[in-house]
Amino acid sequence: MIHIVDSISSTNDWLARYYSEMADTILAIKQSKGKGRHGNTWESQIGGFYLSTVSSNHKLLPFVVGISIMKVLEKDCKGLYLKWPNDIILQGKKLGGILCEDFGDFSIIGIGINFENELGIDNSTNLISNNISIDKSSFLASFLYNFDINSLLTSEEIIDNFTEYDCLIGNEVFWKDSFGIAKSIALDGSLVVESNKKELNLYSEEVHLERN
Ligand code: BTN
């Protein structure tokens, strides 16, 4: 079932509590306690797109979600990229993010995309300021359709697709006190970087294209 609500604390939290079957979905006009990755708050004013859906577990779930979003948005957006592991980037700025939460028997996928909302964080952007207008219900339908198809891809195909869209690969990247060159994405979803002539696998670090 697809629920559409005016206001909710967090679509991810609501669905984790009240979902009844796979693919149950909720779209909110705004959230009062939107959650981002690493315990951050996700600013969720009117005008943004706040979606959660229930999925079976998949070890590459954020990657399947990312490529499914790209398949929907790429025809309307120039300069659109994914940034390993969960960010959607438009013209070098953050357009949206993905928060997948694993509950053991199932996962909740949360997607936040800046459509027309005012921007809360530095270095973020929205569709409207790039003169892009996309209908939220068409986006929702098209995303769910693409997500079903992409869930059937092999791990190799998922990673190949994601790598094609990723803005880090081939570039110098910075994380914690270190830096290196992003080489590839491994089949377990880790980012392979070369640093001090050694290859390392990064799993959940915040990785940036610029030194912070
Ligand atoms: C990130 O930190 O980049 C991920 C942001 C994910 C935000 C979305 S909005 C819909 C869903 N409900 C939440 O509380 N968070 C996710």
- HSE, CB side, 13 Å, CA atoms: give it for residue 34: 26
Give the pTM. Answer: 0.96
Which tokens hold the place of 64?
């399947």
Indicate the top mutation candidate among 3, 25, 35 to test ligand 1's pocket, ranked by most ligand atoms within 8 A of CB. 35
Indicate the top mutation candidate among 3, 5, 9, 12 to test ligand 1's pocket, ranked by most ligand atoms within 8 A of CB. 12
- Among protein residues, the one whose CA lies closest to atom 16 of ligand 1: 110
Q: What is the pLDDT of residue 107?
A: 97
Which residue ranges have their beta carbon within 6 Å of ligand 1? 10-12, 31, 34-37, 40, 42, 50-52, 86-87, 97-99, 110-112
* Helices marked H in 40-128: 61-73
- Kindly give the interhelix angle for 155-165 and 61-73, rounded to the nearest 10 degrees: 50
Q: 21-74: per-residue pLDDT in tens?
A: 999 999 999 999 999 999 999 999 999 999 999 999 999 999 999 999 999 999
Do the Cβ atoms of 182 and 207 come closer than 8 Å?
A: yes
Would you say the C-alpha torsion 91, 52, 159, 187 has a positive or negative sign?
positive
Do the Cβ atoms of 207 and 190 come closer than 8 Å?
A: no
DSSP character at residue 165: H
Q: How far is CA 73 from CA 35, 38, 94, 115, in A?
A: 23, 26, 14, 12
| Ligand 1 centroid – CA 160 distance (Å) | 25
Q: What is the pLDDT of residue 82?
A: 98
Residues written for the chain: 212
| Ligand 1 centroid – CA 58 distance (Å) | 18
**Which of 50, 204, 40 is CA-nearest to residue 121?**
40
Q: 160-201: per-residue pLDDT in tens?
A: 999 999 999 999 999 998 999 999 999 999 999 999 999 999
Structural domains in the chain, CATH included, are: 2-165 (3.30.930.10), 168-212 (2.30.30.100)
